[in-house]
A = this chain, B = another copy of it.
Amino acid sequence: MLAGERWGWRSGLCEALGMEIGVLGGTGPAGRGIATRLAAAGHEVIVGSRERSRSQSVVDDLREQWGARVDGLRAGTNHEAADAALVVLATVWDAAVPTATAHADQLAGNVVISMANGLEKHGRHFVPVRSPAGSIAAEVKAAAPGAYVVAAFHLVPAAALADISRPLSGDVLVVGDEEGRPTVLELIDAIPDLRAFDAGPLENAIGLETFAAALLTVNLRHKGEGSLRIEGVGPRATP
């Protein structure tokens, strides 16, 4: 069953299936997680890295672990990954803006997903790193102004994305440029177990990024690992 069927909509999902997706910083925890989950959902995914040998090693490991389920994965450089029509910026948070800057020309006209949370851990809590632009996603947009920047996946743990033997739990709020947001909403709705919610323009990325500090602090102070659910909301309304 496609995720969309639960919601009673189907239109447009086809475009979101079988896309070529580049993951910049694909060898770190967030990158491995999102690359694995997207490959398992039927996409062609270039796992980008500054060094191809590092990317090849990660792809080899993931193929050994998951076999044919991740047939869509292939190794590449960040430069190759940045040429995909849909690019996920999955580096550690403080490398997101420099990486966007380095590939700004390539990213122009592409949809770029920013999933970075700038967080610092102090003892038993996290706090958000304040950004002068409001959010890391806004800084990415400033660094690559031709890209259609969309922020998503902030509150889904990387380990959960990576473990495709288990269903995901958690809802995904999506914010960003109008030119990219519909594609990302469809991409996420087509991942089994995930539901995507349209939370407006890129200005709202600050809410997604800074809320992560609160949610991860809950995880440090309560038993278990929290994920976010939006209750009481159905399919997107027709504008």
Whether B207 pairs with A128 at a CB distance below 8 angstroms is yes
Interface string of A209-239 (1 = CB under 8 A from B): 0111111011101111111111111111101
**In the complex, which residues of chain B have a beta carbon less than 8 angstroms from the beta carbon of A125?**
200-201, 204
Whether A214 pairs with B207 at a CB distance below 8 angstroms is yes
Whether A222 pairs with B207 at a CB distance below 8 angstroms is no
Q: In the complex, what residue of chain B is closest to A234 when comparing beta carbons? A: B223
**In the complex, which residues of chain B have a beta carbon less than 8 angstroms from the beta carbon of A215?**
173, 199, 207, 230
Residue of A215, A218, A228 contacting most chain B CB atoms (<10 Å): A218
Interface size on A, residues (CB 8 A): 48
| A17 interface hit (Cβ, 8 Å) | no
Copies in the complex: 2
A76 CB, min distance to chain B CBs, angstroms: 33
Whether A218 pairs with B198 at a CB distance below 8 angstroms is yes
| A126 interface hit (Cβ, 8 Å) | yes
| A190 interface hit (Cβ, 8 Å) | no
**In the complex, which residues of chain B have a beta carbon less than 8 angstroms from the beta carbon of A213?**
200, 203-204, 207
Known: A128-B206, A221-B236. A200 touches B214 (CB 8 A): yes
| A127 interface hit (Cβ, 8 Å) | yes
Q: In the complex, what residue of chain B is closest to A195 when comparing beta carbons? A: B222
Whether B227 pairs with A127 at a CB distance below 8 angstroms is no
Write 9 A-B pairs (CB below 8 A) sorted by A numbering: A127-B204, A128-B206, A197-B226, A198-B221, A199-B215, A199-B221, A204-B210, A210-B210, A227-B231
